[in-house]
Structure 1
Amino acid sequence: MKLRNKILALLSVAAMLTMTACSNTNNTTQTSDSSKTQASETTNQKTADGKKVVNDALGELTVPEESKRIATTAAAHWTSVALLGASDKLVAMEEGYGKNKWVVKKFPEWANLPVVFAGNTANMEELLKAEPDLVIYATRYGDDFRKQLEDLGISYISDPKPDDSFTFLNRVKAKLVYYGEAIGGVSADIAKEYAKDFDDMYNKINEKTSKLEDNQKKTMLSVTSFDPITIINGSSIGQEWMTLAGGINVAKDATGDVGTSGRLNVSMEQVLEWNPSYIIVDNKGLKESIIQDTAWANIDAVKNDKVFIMPTGLMPWGYHGPEEYLMMPYIAKTLQPELFEDIDMEQLTKDFYKKYYKIDLDEEDISYIFSK
């Protein structure tokens, strides 16, 4: 096979390539305006071999008219592919949530998919065996990996071409639209429907919370690690969903050695000084560590039982995937319940997974997602 012949040249360098980590996190937070969509349309150009041209953040790229075999390098990618009605097109994925028991139960066809990407490393030999016609590429895998894809003649996409409307939340929507257009077929129409639903939800929340005075907003801290204490500052998507929900990120202006998605380590003294009224974490173990530790006992959020676990479905809702649609109302109802009495999060969740993932959630599923 043509692709397998090409891999011989690559194997002379290495079968397993460790790529330089390149974060695709933009550390500039802007006011979210979900009514805008970044430029992501196909150019309507066609290549001599029948491929189409798309406007990517990396430039004009060529992709199949309709992709049939897709490899993904991040959880937010394969959750997007599944939402776009193309879960059966996945042929390889990244190590992580895609192999947990709950996800595989919902998508049993993924159980035997090869894990080709892990720790910013790509196993090129296994990728070639999967025979993808499109790779959704995370820039943290580095330019060397992208160059290998080009040498092998494998199409890839990264992010939609940015414009002046960039916000993290808007980017979630824009990515879905872009992926839908790039994949082709029914995916493009599904993406447009998702974008409309996303805008409607954003605007519903913003219409109420934008009228709040500062003294009506709730202080909040997002904690991602207990030892060391790691939080997210203002250069993160969490900053945006907290602000949209009628909250104030107490760590917004925190500085230091900022890592991926605005994460940085802080001292217990700093947390005590901030004294947030609400804390959100992304797993049950982290919550237990916080509420059981005497150093945290005088934090208002701990004293008043306001430590919440970020819901997790196919992936944690608040980390750039399409389930971000649900994160917006979840945080809004958590921080401002009197404003959002009309939102039934369990029913909204069931409706979303049914519409976009063709999954019927039962009470056990709801318990899993909300970590009850």
Structure 2
Amino acid sequence: MVPGASIRHLALGLLAALLLAGCEARQPAFPDRELPPRQSVTLLDQAGHRVQLARPAERIGTPGVSMASLVLALGGPERLVAVAAEVNHNPWLAHIMPELASRPAPFIRPAGVHLESLLALKPDLVTLWLGNQSQGEKLEQLGIPVMYLGYRSPEEMRQAVLLLGQALGERGQTRAEAFVGYYEASLTRVRAGLAGLSDAARPRVYYASISPLHTEGRDSMIDAWIRTAGGINVAAANLRGDGQVQLENLLTWDPDLIITLGLAQQQAILADPRWQQLRAVRQGRVIVNPRGINAWCTRAAETALQVLWAARLFHPERFADLDMAMETRRFYRQFYAYELSDDEVARVLQGRNPTDPQP
């Protein structure tokens, strides 16, 4: 005869076995059931235009380098499926993200596109700058969602980055918030360093854009970073947005400092004897803007670095502890997943390509 305690143990064991078998039988209750789809995305872009996506965008098309740099910073190269040829041939992109050299390029600058080629790539979203609505309407008629972005100030850039992050889904939103956090920390640092700065202590700055006499005045990103960094944009009083000025204007303004979009503009200014009448030229104060994926002074992602560099240039005594090499490395590591070497950092800060000979 089995003792009572043993009978109870045997019963409990049998019950546990039956329960376990039942649980195992219930685990695959819905073996063919699909996971719930990712949530759709609906937002208003910077044109006030409604963007509706069935799911967060995984395949993005965009013309131009500046907009592409934002997509790369928030989503990485795998999200960028359709570009313009200037992205394929960008020296720094070819260096740090070589896979982009062979990316399909259906977009034609400034506002064209091979529609059949773009459709074949099946983009979830195309991002365009404000002012390109006529192109965007054609794409939407073909079923391609379009989002318009544009900014002339740090606040508008912040909005653009957050909108793009929202379109990219949860990971994109997280990276957008990190980017905005970095940019806002840079702005806060500069404003704190310039506390109490008098107008008389602000250098008068001229920016040479695509040519020596092409510049940008008020209501532009150029004017925004010059003012934020503690300078005065000499063209702001006479010009709104971008446009051409005359050398006579420069002689009247006689800026303390000239910043050029690239090496070509600097060399053109230094080679022209007429520019020698300007104080900035005589004093060797014609400076090439840093350039990585794009010039930092433009609307590219690296604009987040521009205000730091400009503040250090305008007011070195107030920003003596600001290490732009360290900041550049940090930015590339965080947003482009690339570790710059000492030589690469130097080239970026000098506005040189990765294969240019050193001066």
Q: Is the 8 A contact 1:318 1:324 kept in 2?
A: yes
- Does the alignment pair 1:297 with 2:276? yes
Gaps of at least 5 residues in structure 2 are: 1-36, 353-359
The whole-number CA distance in structure 2 between the counterparts of 1:66 and 1:225 is 36
TM-score w.r.t. structure 1 length?
Answer: 0.79
The whole-number CA distance in structure 2 between the counterparts of 1:314 and 1:136 is 18
Q: Is the 8 A contact 1:317 1:327 kept in 2?
A: yes
The whole-number CA distance in structure 2 between the counterparts of 1:96 and 1:123 is 15
After the TM superposition, which parts of structure 1 deviate over 4 Å for at least 4 consecutive aligned residues?
Answer: none
Q: Is the 8 A contact 2:83 2:104 kept in 1?
A: yes
Q: Which residue of 1 aligns with 2:22?
A: none
Say if 1:337 and 1:265 are closer, same or farther in 2 by CA, change over 3 A: same
- Does the alignment pair 1:52 with 2:41? yes
Question: Which sits farther off after the overlay, 306-315 or 65-74?
Answer: 65-74
Shift, 1:128, TM fit: 1.0
Encode CA deviations 1:197-251: one digit per residue, 9 max, x unaligned.
1111101101222421111111100011446x21221231111111111101111
Q: Which residue of 1 aligns with 2:288?
A: 309
Q: Is the 8 A contact 2:258 2:286 kept in 1?
A: yes
Match for residue 352 of structure 1 among 289, 314, 331 = 331
Structure showing greater radius of gyration is 2
Q: Which residue of 2 aligns with 1:340?
A: 319
Q: Is the 8 A contact 1:85 1:357 kept in 2?
A: no
**1:153-164 maps to which residues of 2 (within 5 A)?**
153-159=143-149
Q: Which residue of 1 aligns with 2:122?
A: 131
Shift, 1:85, TM fit: 3.1
Match for residue 204 of structure 1 among 178, 186, 189 = 189
**1:86-125 maps to which residues of 2 (within 5 A)?**
86-117=76-107, 118-125=109-116
Match for residue 58 of structure 2 among 61, 64, 68 = 68
Structure with more contact order per residue of length (Cα contacts < 8 Å, sep ≥ 6): 1
Q: Which residue of 1 aligns with 2:198?
A: 213
Gaps of at least 5 residues in structure 1 are: 1-47, 161-165
- Specify the code of the residue in structure 1 equivalent to 2:50: E
Q: Which residue of 1 aligns with 2:164?
A: 179
Say if 1:148 and 1:338 are closer, same or farther in 2 by CA, change over 3 A: same
Q: Which residue of 2 aligns with 1:366?
A: 345
The structure that is helix-richer by fraction is 2
The whole-number CA distance in structure 2 between the counterparts of 1:296 and 1:265 is 16
**1:313-324 maps to which residues of 2 (within 5 A)?**
313-324=292-303
What is the RMSD computed on CA atoms of the aligned residues? 2.0
Q: Is the 8 A contact 1:172 1:324 kept in 2?
A: no
Say if 1:353 and 1:54 are closer, same or farther in 2 by CA, change over 3 A: same
Encode CA deviations 1:105-129: one digit per residue, 9 max, x unaligned.
2111211112222221111111112
Q: Which residue of 1 aligns with 2:237?
A: 253
The whole-number CA distance in structure 2 between the counterparts of 1:273 and 1:225 is 21
Q: Which residue of 2 aligns with 1:242?
A: 226
**Aligned to 1:240, what secondary structure does the other structure show?**
helix
